[in-house]
Amino acid sequence: MFAVTGRGPLRDHDPEIELGEGEEYGLKPMNCPGHCLLFKTQKRSYKDLPIRYADFSPLHRNELSGALSGLTRLRRFHQDDGHIFCDQSQLTGEIARTLDFVQLVYRTLDLGDYKLRLGTRPTQFIGTGHDWDTAEGHLTTALEDSGRSYYINRGDGAFYGPKIDIVLTDADGKDHQTATIQLDFQLPKRFGLEFDTPDSAVKQTPVLIHRAVLGSLERFMALLIESYGGKWPFWLNPRQLILLTVGQDQGVRRRAEEMAGQLASPDARPGALALKARAFMVSCDNSDESIGKKIFNARKRGFNLYAVVGERNLKQPPNNQALDISLASHPKEQDVREAIRVFLHSQTLKTGSEVQANHVTSKAVIASLTIQQCQDLLTYLDSRYL
Q: Which residues are catalytic?
A: 32, 61, 79, 81, 83, 163, 210
DSSP assignment of 173-216 = S-EEEEEEEEEESSHHHHTT--EE-SSTT-EEPPEEEEEEEEEE
Q: Which residues contact 362 (CB under 8 A, 6 or more apart)?
A: none
Please say whether the beta carbons of 366 and 326 come within 8 A.
yes
Residues 323 and 42: their CA atoms lie apart, in Å, by 58
Geometric angle at alpha carbon 269, from 263 and 274, rounded to 5°: 95
With b meaning 16 or more CB within 10 Å and e meaning fewer, what string describes 10-32? ebeeeeebeeeeeeeeeeeebbb
Cβ-count burial of 372 within 10 angstroms (0-12 exposed, 13-18 middle, 19+ buried)? Answer: middle
Residues 257 and 243: their CA atoms lie apart, in Å, by 8
- Residue 248: how many CB atoms within 10 A of its CB? 10
Q: Which helix (H) or strand (E) holds 152?
A: strand 151-153
Closest CA to 285 of 266, 267, 272, 299: 299
Distances, alpha carbon 9 to alpha carbons 5, 14, 26, 31, 55, in Å: 10, 9, 14, 23, 29
